[in-house]
Amino acid sequence: MSIKVGDRLPSVTLTTMTDKGPKPLTTTELCEGKKVVLFAVPGAFTPTCSVQHLPGFINNTQSFKDKGVDSVACVSVNDPFVMGAWGKDRGVGEDVLMLSDGNGEFTAAIGLEMDGSGFGLGTRSQRYAMIVDDGVVSTLNVESGPGLDVSSAETILSKL
């Protein structure tokens, strides 16, 4: 069963890459007392994720902040080194927090796994975006198939 609007995010440890190496960050630390836009991609460096999904959030960071968002974060079932390299490659800087769900524990805990084995990806995350208010999901938009529609930065921005 997947997470839904009104549910509290489970407390799971994700990892972010810093100048000093990988750093653990729990979803509780990320979201407690904050408004967070959290979006997930099936894989770093993949075409739709790199060309459309992530850039939309980078380009709209200030608009999110203007609407009261404390943090914009991207999560993927990739290791922290890949997420760090992808963030650097895409020029993320401080705009989007790049989070590794290396073992897929967060993705499984919220029930949004995807079987990407047909493409050589194994178990990954579905593409989605959510707004989280103090740890509680207030908006959840999950893509029903390939492509980018309901989880785009522009769509999520319109929900704030």
- From the list 30, 36, 49, 156, the catalytic residue is 49
Asked if 12 contacts 26 with a C-beta cutoff of 8 angstroms, the reply is yes
31 a catalytic residue: no
DSSP 55-67: HHHHHTHHHHHHT
Collect contacts of 43-48 with beta carbons under 8 A, ≥24 apart: 43/76, 43/77, 43/78, 43/116, 43/121, 43/124, 44/76, 44/78, 44/82, 44/83, 44/85, 44/86, 45/82, 45/86, 45/89, 48/127, 48/146, 48/147, 48/148
Catalytic residues: 49
